[in-house]
Amino acid sequence: MAEGIKDKVAIIGMGCTKFGERFDASPQDLIVESFVECLQDSGLEKKDIQAAWWGIHMPDISMGRGATALGITLKLPFIPITRVENFCATGSEALRGAVYAVASGAYDICLALGMEKLKDTGYGGLPLAGGLGYKMPLNGFNVTAPGGFAMMATKYFSQYNLSPQDGKMVLAKVSAKSHKNGSINPKAHLRKEVTVEQIMNAPIVAWPLGLFDCCGVSDGSASAIVCRADMAKKFRPDPVFVKSLQISCSSGEEMLYTKWDGSHVEPAYRAGIAAYKEAGIKNPREEVSMAEVHDCFSITEATAMEDLQFSARGHVKDDIDAGRFNADGAQPIQIDGGLKCFGHPIGASGLRMMYEMYKQLQGKADKRQLKDPKIGLTHNMGGFPSMNVVSVCIVGK
C-alpha cells in the first residue's frame, strides 16, 4: 500500500529573484541570485545538498539541455542532478523531484531550482511552440499561448451564457485584483495598479483576451531546499511542511474526444482531488487559506477556482464579484501578484508560487502578509487547456 508523502518533507529554505525583463542579467546571474538567497535562508552550506532537480522549459534559448548548466553554474560538487521539464509546470516538477526523493528516504536534503531566461528572444510572448516537435507545424495550427487560452474563454462565455462584455468584465476583475497585489511586491515584474476600465479597453491580444488578461513574460529564478520533516526544526523554527504534491496529465480525451466541455481544465480538477485526498482536506473552499494559482491568463485563474472547488462550476463570477479572492477577501488568491504581475519565467514559476506560500506561512510576507494563514496551495499548469499537466501542492505549518 502506497504511503504517500504527507508530512514527510519540509521546506527549510527558499530564494526568489526579482522577476521581470532582466535585460541586465544572464541566466547564470539569475540562478546564483535565487540560490544565494535560498542557501542563506536555510542556514545550510552548499556541501549539505545531496541531490538537485533543475527546472528549465526552454533551455535551447538560454543554457542548453541537460543537468550540467546547474552543476557548473553553482559548482555543485559532482552530486546527482536531474533536469526536468513539464511545460509551464516545470518549476513544480523540480520541487516534486526533490520532495519525492527525500520522502523516499534516499536523501536527507535536496535542492530544487527553476530558472527561465525568456527575454533574449527579441519579441514579446513566448517563443514559438518548437518544443512540440517537427510535426507540429505540419498538422498543428498557428497557436500561441494567449490564443490557446482565449479559446477556453470563448467556450466559457458560450457555455454559461455570458455576453462578451459580461465575460470580459469578470476576467477584468481577476486581473485588477492581481495588479493591486503586485503593486506592493518589490520583486514583482509589473508593479502598477490598473482599473477595470483600463483592462476592458486594452488592445486585444487573442479574442476575447486583451493585454491585461495576459501575464508578464519574464526572466527569473526561484529555488527551494527541502529536508526530512523530522530533522527540519534542527535548521529553523518555522519550516513549512508538504501535505501533498500531486500532478495530473491529459489523456488526449480533451482534444480528441467530444466529451470535454472546453471551459475547464480536467487535469487541474483531477490533481486537486488527489492533492486534497492526500492532505486530508474535505472542504477546499473553507480549509485552504490562500493559493497561488497558474494565472497565465485571467481565464485560467477563473476556471482554476472552479477546478480547485473554491467556486461551484459556472459560478466563479459570483465569488469574483463578491471579492472573495481579493487580499482582504475570505480566500486570497495571487497575494504576490501571480503570474499576471509577479511574472512568468516558466521554469521558475512553480517555485515562485511556493515562495509566497512559504513566506506567508512564516509570517514574513511584509506588506502582503495575511492574517495567520494555515494552509497554502499552489496550482501550476503547463500546456494548453486541451492538453496539459497540472500540479497541485498543499503546504502548511
Partner 1 sequence: MVGIKSYGAHIPRFRLDRNIMQLALLFLGFGPLRGEKAVANWDEDSITMAVAAAKDCLKGENKDQVDGLYFATTSQIYSLRQNAGIVAAALDLATNSRTADFTDSTKSGTGALLAAADAISAGSLNSCLVCAGDCRVSKVGSNGDYTYGDGAASFLLGKDDVIATIEGSFSTSHDFVDRRRLEGERLEHLWEERFIRDAGYMKFIPEAVMGLVKKYNLNIKDFSKVIYACAFTGAHAALGKTLGLTPEQVQEPLLMTVGDTGVAQPLMMLVAALEDAKPGDKIMVVSFGQGCDAFYLTVTDNITKVKDKKAIKRNLANKVPLGSYEKYLAFRKLMPVEIGIRGEETVFTSFSIISRESRELYGMVGNKCKKCGTPAWPFQRVCPNPDCGAIDQMEPYRFADRLANIFTYTSDFLAPSIDPPSSYGFIDFQGGGRCAVDFTDCDPNALKVGMPIELSFRIKFADEKRAAVNYGWKAMPVVA
- Decide whether 80 or 125 has the Cβ nearer to partner 1: 125
Residue 134 touching partner 1 (CB under 8 A)? yes
**% helix, strand, coil for the chain, step of 5:** 40, 20, 40
Interaction of residue 123 with partner 1, rule CB under 8 A? yes
* Size (the chain), residues: 397
Which stretch in 47-55, 84-92, 150-158, 234-242 sits in contact with partner 1 by CB under 8 A? 150-158
Active-site pick, 294, 344, 379, 393: 344
One character per residue 258-297, x = contact with partner 1 (rule: CB under 8 A): xx--x-----------------------------------
The dihedral sign for the CA sequence 187, 190, 191, 193: negative
**Residues 88, 110, 214, 215: which is the catalytic one?**
88
Contact between 198 and partner 1 per CB under 8 A = no
Q: Pairing between strand 51-55 and 109-116?
A: parallel
Q: Which is nearer to partner 1, 217 or 335 (CB)?
A: 217
Three-class DSSP labels, 38-58? HHHHHCCCHHHCCEEEEECCC
By rule CB under 8 A, what string of x and - marks binding of each residue 240-259 to partner 1? -----------xxx-xxxxx
Known catalytic membership, residue 344: yes
**Is 361 in contact with 376 (CB distance < 8 Å)?**
yes
Residues in CB range of 169: below 8 A, 6 or more apart? 196, 200
CA distance 116 to 121: 12
161 makes contact with partner 1 (CB under 8 A): no
Q: How many residues bind partner 1 (CB under 8 A)?
A: 44
Our finding on whether 348 is near partner 1 (CB under 8 A) is no
To the query of whether residue 88 is one of the catalytic residues in this protein, the response is yes
Cβ–Cβ < 8 Å for 115, 221: yes
User: How far is the C-alpha of 153 from the C-alpha of 208, rounded, in Å?
Assistant: 7
By CB under 8 A, residue 322 contacts partner 1? no
> Which residue, 72 or 256, has its beta carbon nearer to partner 1?
256
Residues 6+ apart with CB under 8 A from 278: 4, 5, 6, 243, 244, 246, 394
Give the one residue of 26, 28, 50, 144 binding partner 1; rule: CB under 8 A. Answer: 144
Site residues, partner 1 (CB under 8 A): 121-125, 127-128, 130, 134-135, 137-144, 146-147, 150-155, 158, 203-209, 251-253, 255-259, 262, 386
Q: Which residues are catalytic?
A: 88, 344
